[in-house]
Structure 1
Amino acid sequence: MKMDAFGNIYGLVILSISCIYPNFLLVCHAASALRVMFNSMNSPGQLTQWSGNGDDPCGQNWKGITCSGSRVTEIKLPGLGLSGSLGYQLNSLTAVTNLDLSNNNLADAIPYQLPPNLQRLNLANNQLIGEIPYSISQMPSLTYLNLGHNQLQKQLGDLFGQLTSLSTLDLSFNQLSGDLPESFSSLSSMKSMYLQNNQFTGAIDVLANLPLDTLNVANNRFTGWIPSQFKKINLQKDGNNWNSGTAPPPPPGTPPAHNGPSYKSGGNDSPSGSGAGGGSKKSGISAGGIAGIIISILLVGGIVAFFLVKKKSRRSSDIEKLGSQPSAPYSSTNVVPDMKSMQASSAVNTKIFDTSASINLRPPPVDRHKSFDDEEFSPKPVVKKPVAAPINVTLYSVADLQMATGSFSVDHLLGEGLFGRVYRAEIDDGKVVAVKKLDSATLPSDMSDDFTEIVASISLLHHPNVTELVGYCSEHGQHLLVYEFHKNGSLHDFLHLSDEYSKRLIWNSRVKIALGTARSLEYLHEVCSPSIVHKNIKSVNILLDTELNPHLSDSGLASCLPNADQVLNHNAGSGYGAPEVAMSGHYTLKSDVYSFGVVMLELLTGRKPFDSSRPRSEQSLVRWATPQLHDIDALSKMVDPELKGLYPVKSLSRFADVIALCVQPEPEFRPPMSEVVQALVRLVQRANMSKRTIGNDQSETPRAVNPDTQDYIS
């Protein structure tokens, strides 16, 4: 320990001596700051060049360092499992414009001393605590700031007044609180802002006049009205306490707002600040002016009241006419008769339903409170064409499925996913199926036509590794999907819920499961037209039959459900989500590839994607495992202990290579699924060839090879 300290001091002394010479001055400052950073990050072994005696990060090609001449311009070290803190000398790196330390395990507070001329700062997906430092307010060149998925706290200070070049801001998934700062209104270049999953309060009026394309404020404690300026942008707002109804107009005499509408419920917020007397000539409105305004209001009110009475009398006569017609269209006036007739015709006894998973036979009450979504900013209702019934699938009634599931009892419950609960059901011919009851939050009860279209789309998916849809139910506002049943349950159960009586997965079975799942995604991405993004790849949704062949469930479902993305984003901390999804909330073919890579990591290590019971540096599977995938010694220590060392070393290494490609932070570098399939096929072919020619790998005994020897390449 003393020798290490002496070595560090010696290196700094030599470095200081070299700084005497002008040619080394810039290099000296950079090397000194980076050496302090290296020590603060607990001297990570991944940065081998940093730990040597070299003193020139540009001339000696230090990992993650980009230079222009002898000046360091970029520090990019994402996804390396780095720990510790950032150090305290980064402000001397005046030429650095890009600092990316995302997807690591860095802790402590963000230092005040940051490179002052940054254009991009990305510290997302770490374990940073404390407040956002004030030094960020002194970075006028900053265009991109991402501090999402950390543990930052407290209220935002007025840091943003000079950040007029900032176009992307991500503060999502922290513990920030309080009202939004007024300086947000100065972000004149802001295009994308992500504030979701914090504890922000108050109104969002301060954002109203920003040139936003995307705004995510979901899952906070915001109140007030949503500004009308947001009607044309990509807005995610659920999970707050918005006021319903139309926002009130400004009080009489209030001048037009400059920074956006900041309407209050009261009328005492006039900028003139006149006293109670109101008789002074300096007051904003004279007594005569007030009298004129009152008369005008009374006159307009009388006219409006006249037309409202007239309209009401006309509506009552229209209702009488509708009552005499043989079939009236659905409206709020005939909800009660429809409900009564529906309940009278239903033979289902609702009292015997399980209370935790009961099907409500009553339609939801009509919401008469209008917000901006319901009225002028939503598209006008259109007359839909009749939806054709799906072919090749069976239409069931609620009564049929109730009987088959024991009234949707807990005894028949197989599991609960993001879109609803799944029950085991035995239908009339003795066939066992799985019934998924969609939650109303995922698909509201009044969208039966949309549900029929969804069923029609999913029923067209046919692939050996895709769970088949065999039926559906759309009755009484309820939406249920009936799938084929797979006896061996999910891959998640095999890997994480195993006990002494369960059969463990040998290496060949794991490779087979990975290959079959890859083929299902290749089918969705590259065979289906248009391509289908699954959005919810995880081990729970990979079902295994009696031969341990994988079947991907929920295929096509998330792409069709109108509220699927919002539901999925609430589960963003599961460990399967790609970094760009956490930032934008948007899913792509490449985000599916990333999630598949995480599943492969599960198969390799036997670990969960995120496990809070492990040490902090090992909780995120991707962050912990990625730096070790190309180190054969580290790789052998990562392997699932359940394999008991029975696997081919070369096969393991190639498997890890595929994982590394899939979980790359940049989506454009991830391979298409067809290439993943080809890589896994080559892996299996080589393994089979070696068994036929030169025998087993030394690390694999015949006992590990012989089971599961059927050909799973074709």
Structure 2
Amino acid sequence: MNLFLKNWMISIWVLFFLLLVLVPMDAVRPDPPLSSIADPVLPTEKKPPFSQIPTEDEAYSPGVSEIIVHHQDLNKKILAALIIASTLLAGILVFLFCFWIFKQKNSEPLNAKKTPKRQDTSKGLSLGPILDKFTPSRIAGKKGSVTVIDYEWLVSATNNFHEENIVRVETSGHLYKARFNDHFVAAVKRVHGRGPDTQRGFENEVEWLGKLKHQNVVNLMGYCIHDDTRFLVYEMMHQGSLEYQLHGPSHGTTLTWQHRMKVALDIARGLEYLHERCNPPVIHRDLKSSNILLDSNFNAKISDFGLAATGLHAKNKVKISGTSGYVAPEYLSDGKLTEKSDVYAFGVILLELLIGRKPVEKMSPSLFQSIVTWAMPQLTDRSKLPNIVDPVIRDTMDLKHLYQVAAVAVLCVQPEPSYRPLITDVLHSFIPLVPVELGGSLRA
């Protein structure tokens, strides 16, 4: 509307200019009295105060006739100029009015298309790109920031949970590859068990992953409850778990030294987010290689938060949970759970990356050996250390870097929690060991 008023004022100035151009200056100059033209009075002459009845010669004086004709011509010119100017002004006003109506009609649809992005305001991260993957007709609702997905859509996406779509089998459930459309594939976990512990773990997973948003924490895209069966839908991690890469058919051949250091750095970044940036701090409580997932570029993300607890809850003794070989001694013996319990589990994973062995190995039907117990005496001996490194990566790294990683691992698996470093210190120790192109600071 302001533009319309501005254009209207411009039109007025245009009209004024046209009047100045089209109307001669004589038309606006005041005419002298007729008497002064017909009968000029010299200074030495005296004119009678009142004119008498004109004589016949005066009534038809040629000078008077020319003046009358001249005035008629001027009037016609003025009238023509006014008509032309008025027509132009009317045309301009009609054009501006139509243009204003056109702009008003077209501005509303444009504004209507600008829909606000869905955001988790507490984290400042947009959830739109994730939630938009799902067809609205297939969404049954939302719980917090997590989408509730229609069961029939899961059946269709997994081909009725066909065995060919099984990605891996875990103790907690089968993981299926689900193709929701031509451009979007996700992982659907069918949770096993129906007891109270399973229910509690499922709710814990949904609650935590609905809050936690970090590049090294797996994205929970939705969930579904059908009768007594529960499903979790995650982003697809194409390289599977770290356990599968290290101890599966490939036996670690796909993981170079640099990739292993990157995985360690990614896990440390994820734990640093949980321990230092969440308020209150979050303790994963079940950190292990099978819960570290790798995407197509071997970026590592922490998953499975079914046992996670806050630092506030961990001050008291909690029920012993976790996986053998990863559980910290103080938690196993006394139920004392702290952030240092996750640091211990990280140290075990670091030994897996370094040595290539499982955290617990069966030596005989009744004898099991922990990787920590077996490796600790050799980790501190520089002459023996290169010999226990995974043969796949042996002699592929700088020995100085190998000694640094071994030193970090030894500190992380210390029996006494106070001797273990903070995860922030671990993080900073790994950054110089990872190449710049993989997210560290090491330059070739």
Instruction: Identify which of 321, 329, 333 aligns with 1:579.
Output: 329
1:628 aligns with 2:391: no
Q: 1:566–1:479: structure 2 CA closer, same or farther, 3 Å change rule? A: farther
Amino acid at match of 1:472: Y
Q: 1:419–1:585: structure 2 CA closer, same or farther, 3 Å change rule? A: farther
Tell me the SS of whatever aligns to 1:467. coil
Note the C-alpha offset of 1:456. Answer: 4.1
Query: Between Structure 1 and Structure 2, how many residues are aligned?
Result: 295
Q: 1:499–1:674: structure 2 CA closer, same or farther, 3 Å change rule? A: closer
Amino acid at match of 1:512: K
Q: Give the corresponding residue for 1:532.
A: 282
Amino acid at match of 2:185: V
The 5 Å alignment of 1:87-166 reads none
Note the C-alpha offset of 1:421. Answer: 2.7
Note the C-alpha offset of 1:520. Answer: 0.5
> Residues 261-310 of structure 1: CA distance to partner in whole angstroms, max 9, x if unpaired?
xxxxxxxxxxxxxxxxxxxxxxxxxxxxxxxxxxxxxxxxxxxxxxxxxx
Note the C-alpha offset of 1:465. Answer: 1.1
Instruction: Identify which of 142, 154, 157 aligns with 1:404.
Output: 157
Structure that is richer in helix per residue: 2
Amino acid at match of 1:713: G
Contact 1:462 1:468 survives alignment (8 Å): yes
Unaligned stretches of 5+ in structure 2? 1-140
Contact 1:504 1:642 survives alignment (8 Å): no
Instruction: Identify which of 491, 507, 513 aligns with 2:242.
Output: 491
Instruction: Identify which of 175, 183, 187 aligns with 1:434.
Output: 187
The 5 Å alignment of 1:22-421 reads 389-421=142-174
Note the C-alpha offset of 1:410. Answer: 2.8
Unaligned stretches of 5+ in structure 1? 1-387, 689-708
Instruction: Identify which of 655, 663, 666 aligns with 2:416.
Output: 666
Contact 1:446 1:477 survives alignment (8 Å): no
TM (norm. structure 2) is: 0.60
For the pair shown, which has the larger CA radius of gyration, 1 or 2? 2
Note the C-alpha offset of 1:625. Answer: 0.6
Amino acid at match of 2:361: D
Amino acid at match of 1:672: L
> Residues 599-639 of structure 1: CA distance to partner in whole angstroms, max 9, x if unpaired?
00001001111111489999321001112212111101111
Distance (Å, rounded) in 2 between the aligned partners of 1:678 and 1:653: 16
Contact 1:538 1:576 survives alignment (8 Å): yes
> Residues 644-672 of structure 1: CA distance to partner in whole angstroms, max 9, x if unpaired?
41111000000001101100001122111
Distance (Å, rounded) in 1 between the aligned partners of 2:336 and 2:169: 24
Distance (Å, rounded) in 1 between the aligned partners of 2:204 and 2:363: 43
Distance (Å, rounded) in 1 between the aligned partners of 2:321 and 2:262: 28
Q: Give the corresponding residue for 2:440.
A: 713
> Residues 242-279 of structure 1: CA distance to partner in whole angstroms, max 9, x if unpaired?
xxxxxxxxxxxxxxxxxxxxxxxxxxxxxxxxxxxxxx
Note the C-alpha offset of 1:544. Answer: 1.2
Distance (Å, rounded) in 1 between the aligned partners of 2:387 and 2:364: 16
Contact 2:284 2:309 survives alignment (8 Å): no
Instruction: Identify which of 469, 472, 483 aligns with 2:220.
Output: 469
Q: 1:446–1:661: structure 2 CA closer, same or farther, 3 Å change rule? A: closer
Tell me the SS of whatever aligns to 1:426. strand
Distance (Å, rounded) in 2 between the aligned partners of 1:558 and 1:452: 10
Contact 2:173 2:190 survives alignment (8 Å): yes
Instruction: Answer with 516-525 or 452-461: which moved more.
Output: 452-461
Instruction: Identify which of 538, 541, 546 aligns with 2:296.
Output: 546
Distance (Å, rounded) in 2 between the aligned partners of 1:618 and 1:645: 29
Q: 1:435–1:470: structure 2 CA closer, same or farther, 3 Å change rule? A: same
Contact 1:618 1:624 survives alignment (8 Å): no
Amino acid at match of 1:650: K
Q: Give the corresponding residue for 2:30.
A: none
Contact 1:617 1:624 survives alignment (8 Å): no
Q: 1:473–1:497: structure 2 CA closer, same or farther, 3 Å change rule? A: same
Amino acid at match of 1:655: V
Instruction: Answer with 409-418 or 483-492: which moved more.
Output: 409-418
1:517 aligns with 2:267: yes
Contact 1:445 1:477 survives alignment (8 Å): no
Amino acid at match of 1:435: V
Q: 1:514–1:397: structure 2 CA closer, same or farther, 3 Å change rule? A: same
Q: 1:513–1:401: structure 2 CA closer, same or farther, 3 Å change rule? A: same
Amino acid at match of 1:612: K
Q: Give the corresponding residue for 1:568.
A: 321
1:603 aligns with 2:330: no
Q: Give the corresponding residue for 1:173.
A: none
Contact 1:418 1:568 survives alignment (8 Å): no
Contact 1:590 1:672 survives alignment (8 Å): yes
Q: Give the corresponding residue for 1:558.
A: 307
Tell me the SS of whatever aligns to 1:519. helix
Contact 1:491 1:543 survives alignment (8 Å): yes
> Residues 380-437 of structure 1: CA distance to partner in whole angstroms, max 9, x if unpaired?
xxxxxxxx94344332122221222232333222233343332221124542111123
Tell me the SS of whatever aligns to 2:359. coil
Distance (Å, rounded) in 2 between the aligned partners of 1:423 and 1:613: 33
> Residues 459-515 of structure 1: CA distance to partner in whole angstroms, max 9, x if unpaired?
121111111111111342433211101111111122112449x84321111111101
Distance (Å, rounded) in 2 between the aligned partners of 1:454 and 1:577: 20
Q: Give the corresponding residue for 2:342.
A: 592
Distance (Å, rounded) in 1 between the aligned partners of 2:212 and 2:419: 28
Contact 1:576 1:609 survives alignment (8 Å): yes
Distance (Å, rounded) in 1 between the aligned partners of 2:365 and 2:203: 47
Distance (Å, rounded) in 2 between the aligned partners of 1:596 and 1:674: 12
Instruction: Identify which of 667, 675, 691 aligns with 2:425.
Output: 675
Instruction: Identify which of 194, 205, 210 aligns with 1:459.
Output: 210
What RMSD over aligned residues (CA atoms) do the two structures have, in Å? 3.1
Tell me the SS of whatever aligns to 2:246. helix
Tell me the SS of whatever aligns to 1:470. strand
Contact 2:204 2:307 survives alignment (8 Å): no
TM (norm. structure 1) is: 0.38
Amino acid at match of 1:631: D
Contact 2:204 2:308 survives alignment (8 Å): no
